[in-house]
Amino acid sequence: MQGLMMDRPLLTTEILKHAVRNYRNTEIVTRTVEGPIHRYAIGDAARRIRKLANALTAMGVKQGDRIGVIGWNTYRQFELYYAVGGIGAVLHTINPRLGIENASFVINHAEDDYLFYDTTFAPLVAMMRPNLKSVKGYYVLTDAEHAGEAGDGADNYEDLIAGAPEAFDWPEFDENTAVALCYTSGTTGDPKGVLYSHRALVLQSFATVLPTAMSMREGDTMLPVVPMFHVNAWNTPYSCLMIGVKQVFPGPRLDGEGLYEMLHSEKVTYSAGVPTVWLGLLQYLEETGKELPHLKRGLCGGSALPEALIRGFAKRGVEMQQGWGMTELSPVGTVNVLPPHIEELPLDDRMPYQLKAGRALPFVDMRLVDAQGKILPHDGEHEGHLQVRGPWIIGEYYKAEKSTLTADGWFDTGDVAIIDEGGFLQITDRSKDVIKTGGEWVSSIEIENAALMHNGVLQAGVIGVEHPKWQERPLLVVVKRPGQEVTGEGIKAFLKGKLDKIAIPDAVEFIDHMPIGATGKVLKTELRKMFKDYKLAE
Amino acid sequence: MQGLMMDRPLLTTEILKHAVRNYRNTEIVTRTVEGPIHRYAIGDAARRIRKLANALTAMGVKQGDRIGVIGWNTYRQFELYYAVGGIGAVLHTINPRLGIENASFVINHAEDDYLFYDTTFAPLVAMMRPNLKSVKGYYVLTDAEHAGEAGDGADNYEDLIAGAPEAFDWPEFDENTAVALCYTSGTTGDPKGVLYSHRALVLQSFATVLPTAMSMREGDTMLPVVPMFHVNAWNTPYSCLMIGVKQVFPGPRLDGEGLYEMLHSEKVTYSAGVPTVWLGLLQYLEETGKELPHLKRGLCGGSALPEALIRGFAKRGVEMQQGWGMTELSPVGTVNVLPPHIEELPLDDRMPYQLKAGRALPFVDMRLVDAQGKILPHDGEHEGHLQVRGPWIIGEYYKAEKSTLTADGWFDTGDVAIIDEGGFLQITDRSKDVIKTGGEWVSSIEIENAALMHNGVLQAGVIGVEHPKWQERPLLVVVKRPGQEVTGEGIKAFLKGKLDKIAIPDAVEFIDHMPIGATGKVLKTELRKMFKDYKLAE
């Protein structure tokens, strides 16, 4: 028997309309690519979004068409989010760090009709243009005055929307309609496209702002460092609007000083980014002695949150919070909010919990599976391949040639994890990065995090190298902190007692620059190339 | 173009499973109908729910079957919520205050296969039994020891589930499947059935716990006074489980003293009920001088929140929060959470905002329409018929003979309201209770609330009575506060300056008992009968 409720779709446009009705004066602030600070309110944003929707329609953009964008977090990309999705088209957000080859590949694979980009990326676009097969028009995300800087004769965004009418009647359509497309970073093989539906992003927005997750409220100010060009800036462009949270977009300045300026001047209370970003900010605060009295919490995801970051920010009154997700999860799967009886403990006692990735959002179902496909208990001990399912988790990759899911309909995350009896997830490693040694699994991430606690270690990456007896043994690759004296033996001594004996790396090597991928993570594939023929001493 | 995400349904069972995985030790406490306090954890509840699901299946209950329940807020009715919905059947919650005739009507109309009820309602059920056409079996919500008190030879709930297996594999089905059925109170005409879907209740649960709505979090304790036998206790059985909030069920003791005991001993932080309940509690606190140091907030809905209640509880450190909803809205439409710049004002300055019903939940779309069907602006001035739409709003009544919605698909709430530019809703009256006088509308509720500020007024109801010149004029009907001297002229003098001249009632009449309907509201229909031939002086 069917219920008899209204059939109303979960569309992102409804979030925008809700915000206009309830939070029209809430600010959206951007450090522009051009330089100056731009600020306007949600009501103004909505007006420009409607103008953009009219302009796109006039350009002939129809439901299902893909529109590419390569841009920093700014109000203009924010406008594209709502306008493109709102007319039933698909915003393909492109990660500029993919490089020319992969970026060209994804634009061709998505068959983007138009490409919007910041002036910063004009050289990249100029180099790609000869390769791009489907793009009918190019728009620089700036005004006529600054468009010249792009130097490629493209049209500009402000001229495009200038003459468009302010009124637009948003269409209604099935909530399963595609709204956005994002490709994985493609560290192994070609990037793969994840085609998000309105339903998925709306549901995830509800779930991420829960008091058991990001727990934002009106009066908070969110600065997403996590990029709009990849995994929807963790959905903050939608979730913040849903509950009237002020947004601050950092534009192209993601260094410690640049972030500090925006966090401080806009009294940001909550921010979100990957560990490298937080490390850069912490380093800046340490060097300058500056403080961020308004910042209360920082959400950290993308890779494991190092203990050093938690402690460094805790000293400064900022609670670091770990989350876990993937492009294929829209992207959030867990957020770590501690239960009250743990939250009230001293930092040392609650540290084991803060180092975990948190508990699943409602409707994210997680299971652990061993190599034989047997389902393992959630007991804080069994370690297995993490598989997930839920309404904002991928069903299949865009134009996939083979099935994306397991035979019984779960998505295998490629992560190895432990889940405890209270539901707390602990990612121990990527399946392919786990070091298999003497029949046991050693987590490369665990070694990296322990190494990062050493004063002389700025960045750390661990890979397995062949070993005649143990199959594989860990090699720790380190970038030294400038001005610090440090030796491999010193680091190994430091790690003793912090790690199981089996996890102490056999060797430490120093390099000048850590290879970092398009999403800010250490590129293990590059490290493996660099140390391909590495021979462990004895 | 369709998105490529997993097709996973929004079922209430997923909320239960999520709670077991993450909050299995969180308590659920009940003052039982039998007397003693019962306490167990979510993990225990889930085990009994699975046993109940097995028992129902063994009884032959199939997807779509209706199961009736007449019960207080207890852990047993809570178990029925999840077990009946979880197997795809429909829990028909029956309001015992409907009276024999209407209660029999709704059971026959719903064609309930089985009827569960508390011992309290055994006499009601015994009187109805000869009229009930579809019911194949009766179960008293107690154990063998206490079932005898019901005296009707019915089976009992504990024996039913005692032998059932603890393992149950929850079926998956379309999220639009019906999960619960609730009839309106039927103050005018026969009660009408609202058939909720899993999707509607899950979405509303997400929306009601938002930081901009009920804003509960793990560590909070919720005592829902609002009944499970009507409008799903404002969805708290679902929303609390979604985020791990401890629930305290008050059973049959809803008087001031009874509530105080549970609120105090269980350290309840948040409670929800209609104004009459809150008035009873406030009176108890005033009389006894007792305090509730743990209670932080109280959600009040069902009818307008009187200023006297806000002030009375504010003195005791409890923030009263107004909400608005209807059976047809699952039931929550708005919850009043003040924006930070208003919340920080002194009580007198924020009072005008606290007296409003709050802002709409996301995905609840509201509009005001005049008598000619013209859409009115949300400017804090225009007053019109409130119409709503959204995914948890009724599409049509169960077995409806005529359309429930307007021609363009909105539900007319029967309320008259004003909405301001910030989205704040103010219900001025029920359309049918508005007093039309000299071409203007006067709100009966506004007069009642002003009268309730008078020390000598315990309860107040206002109706329009015929007037030769002005068409209608307000009559204020009052139940005196015991031990207070009060006159009609005294009350009228008190109201001057508080109300527009046009709203000062022409007369005040005193009665001993206010007629209160099945959902705790003043029954204007009864007042109109009592004063049918009332002649205003002069």
- The Cα B455–Cα B476 span in angstroms is 15
**What order do you get walking across the sheet with B178-183 strand by strand?**
B155-156, B137-140, B114-117, B66-70, B90-93, B178-183, B193-197
Residue in chain A lying closest to B64 (CA) = A1
| pLDDT score of A401 | 86
- A245 within domain boundaries: no
| A75 contacts A34 by C-beta, under 8 angstroms | no
The SS3 assignment for B442 reads: strand
Tell me how close the Cα of B424 comes to any Cα of chain A, in angstroms: 8
Q: Which amino acid is at A349?
A: D
What CATH number should be reported for the domain holding residue B508? 3.30.300.30
Q: Which of B198, B233, B251 is the last residue of a domain?
A: B198
Amino acid at A230: H
- Catalytic residue (choose from B441, B498, B509, B525): B441
Contact call for A212 and B217, based on CB within 8 A: yes
**Residues A55 and A157 grouped into a single domain:** yes
Q: Which of B307, B328, B446, B448 is catalytic?
A: B328
A·B CB contacts under 8 A: 218
Mean per-residue pLDDT for A89-94?
A: 98
Contact A5 B337 (CB under 8 A): no
Distance from CA of A285 to the nearest CA of B (A): 29
Distance CA(A451)–CA(A453), nearest Å, equals: 5
Contacts of B467 (CB under 8 A, 6+ apart): B437, B473, B506, B536
Mean pLDDT for A10-18 is 98
CATH of the domain at B160: 3.40.50.12780
Best B6, B21, B182, B202 residue to mutate vs chain A (most A CBs within 10 Å): B6
pLDDT in tens, A273-317: 999 899 999 999 999 999 999 999 999 998 888 898 999 999 999
> Min CA distance, B139 vs chain A (Å)?
24
Per-residue model confidence (pLDDT) at position A366: 98
pLDDT at B371: 83
Report the C-alpha gap between A529 and A525 in whole angstroms.
Answer: 6
Percent of chain B whose pLDDT exceeds 90:
82
pLDDT score at B187: 62
**Same-domain check for residues B108 and B20:** yes
- Distance in Å, alpha carbon of B451 to nearest chain A alpha carbon: 32
**A452 vs A439, which has greater pLDDT?**
A452
Q: Does residue B335 fall inside a structural domain?
A: no
Residue B340 Cα distances to A63, A186, B110, angstroms: 39, 44, 46
Same domain assignment for residues B454 and B404 = no
Across the interface, whether the CB atoms of A337 and B218 are under 8 A apart is answered yes
Residue B336: closest C-alpha in chain A: A22
User: How many independent structural domains does chain B possess?
Assistant: 3
Q: Supply the range of the domain harboring residue B481.
A: 435-530
Report d(CA B64, CA B86) in Å as an integer. 11
State the pLDDT at residue A535: 87
ipTM summary value = 0.90
Query: What are the tokens at A367?
Result: 């299971």
Q: How many CB atoms lie within 10 A of CB A535?
A: 10
Strand ranges (E), B358-491: 359-360, 365-369, 375-376, 384-389, 411-419, 425-430, 435-437, 440-442, 457-467, 471-480
The HSE-up count of residue A464 (CA atoms within 13 Å, CB side) is 24
Residues present in chain B in total: 538
User: Do residue A8 and residue B389 have CB atoms under 8 angstroms apart?
Assistant: yes
Of residues B8, B322, B519, B246, the one with CA closest to residue A410:
B8
Q: Are strands A114-117 and A137-140 parallel, antiparallel or unpaired?
A: parallel
Q: What is the distance in angstroms between the Cα of A458 and the nearest Cα belonging to chain B?
A: 36
pLDDT at B497: 86
**pLDDT band at residue A519 under the 50/70/90 scheme:** low
Do the Cβ atoms of A362 and B18 come within 8 Å? yes
Asked if residue B505 and residue B380 are part of one domain, the reply reads: no
Instruction: Identify whether the C-beta of residue A147 lies closer than 8 Å to the C-beta of residue A140.
Output: yes
**Of B387, B409, B430, which residue sits at a domain end?**
B430
Q: H or E segment at A425?
A: strand A425-430
Residues A146 and A35 in one domain: yes
Nearest to A211 among B17, B243, B422 (CB): B243
Bin B311: left if φ > 0, else alpha if -120 < ψ < 50, else beta.
Answer: alpha
Low-confidence residues in chain B, pLDDT < 70: 150-151, 186-188, 518-519, 538
Instruction: Give the whole-angstrom CA distance, residue B495 versus residue B500.
Output: 9
With an 8 Å Cβ cutoff, are B8 and A209 in contact? no
Give me the residues paired with residue B508 across strands: B476
Query: Does A53 fall in a domain?
Result: yes
Residue of B274, B378, B250 lying closest to B331 (CA atoms): B274
Give A365's contacts in chain B (Cβ within 8 Å).
14, 17
pLDDT above 80: residue A538: no
Q: Assess if residue A327 is contained within a domain.
A: no
Q: Indicate if A382 and A452 belong to the same structural domain.
A: no
Say yes or no: B34 and B178 in one domain: yes
Q: Domain boundary at B376, B409, B430, which? A: B430
CB contact (8 A) between residue B215 and residue A211: yes
In the residue annotation, B436 being an active-site residue is answered as yes
Residues B404 and B448 in one domain: no
Pair (B64, B160) in one structural domain: yes
**Using CA atoms, how far apart are residues B307 and B452, in angstroms rounded to an integer?**
8
- Using alpha carbons only, what angle is made at residue B426 by residues B423 and B429, rounded to the nearest 5 degrees? 150
CB atoms within 10 A of CB B388: 23
* A396 & A521 share domain: no
Which of A2, A5, A367 to probe the B interface (max B CBs under 10 A)?
Answer: A5
Clarify whether B184 is annotated catalytic.
Answer: yes
A10·B422 Cβ contact <8 A? no
Q: What confidence tens digit (pLDDT) does each residue in A111-120 have?
A: 999 999 999 9
- Which DSSP state fits A188? S
| CA B225/CA B273 separation, integer angstroms | 5
Cβ pair A232, A180 in contact under 8 A: yes
B441 has catalytic annotation: yes
Best CA proximity match to A281, nearest among A304, A313, A307: A313
Residue of B nearest to A363 (CA): B14
Q: How far is B361 from chain A (nearest CA, A)?
A: 8
Q: Which of B200, B210, B363 sits opposite A14 (nearest CB)?
A: B363
**Which of residues A198 and A372 earns the better pLDDT score?**
A198
What is the pLDDT, as a whole number, of residue A42? Answer: 98
Cβ burial of B381 (10 Å; 0-12, 13-18, 19+) is exposed
Q: Is the peptide bond before A331 cis (omega within 30 degrees of 0)?
A: yes
Same structural domain, A61 and A76: yes
Chain-chain contact of B216 with A218 (C-beta, under 8 angstroms)? no
Helix ranges (H only) for A458-509 are 488-495
Three-class DSSP category at A257: helix
Instruction: Determine the Cα–Cα distance for residues A241 and A45; give it in Å rounded to an integer.
Output: 11
By CB atoms closer than 10 A (0-12, 13-18, 19+), residue B342 is middle
Do A461 and A523 have their domain in common? yes
Residue B313: inside a domain: no
Q: Is residue B398 part of a domain?
A: yes
Q: Does residue A150 surpass a pLDDT of 80?
A: no
Which of A21, A219, A389 is closest, CB to CB, to B423?
A: A21
Pick the range with the lowest mean pLDDT from A35-49, A245-259, A504-518: A504-518
Pairing verdict, β B365-369 and B384-389: antiparallel
Q: Is residue B484 part of a domain?
A: yes
Indicate whether B142 belongs to any domain: yes
Query: Cβ–Cβ of A3/B176 closer than 8 Å?
Result: yes
Give the model's pLDDT for residue B261: 97
CATH of the domain at B376: 2.30.38.10
Is-contact A283 A306, C-beta < 8 A?
Answer: no
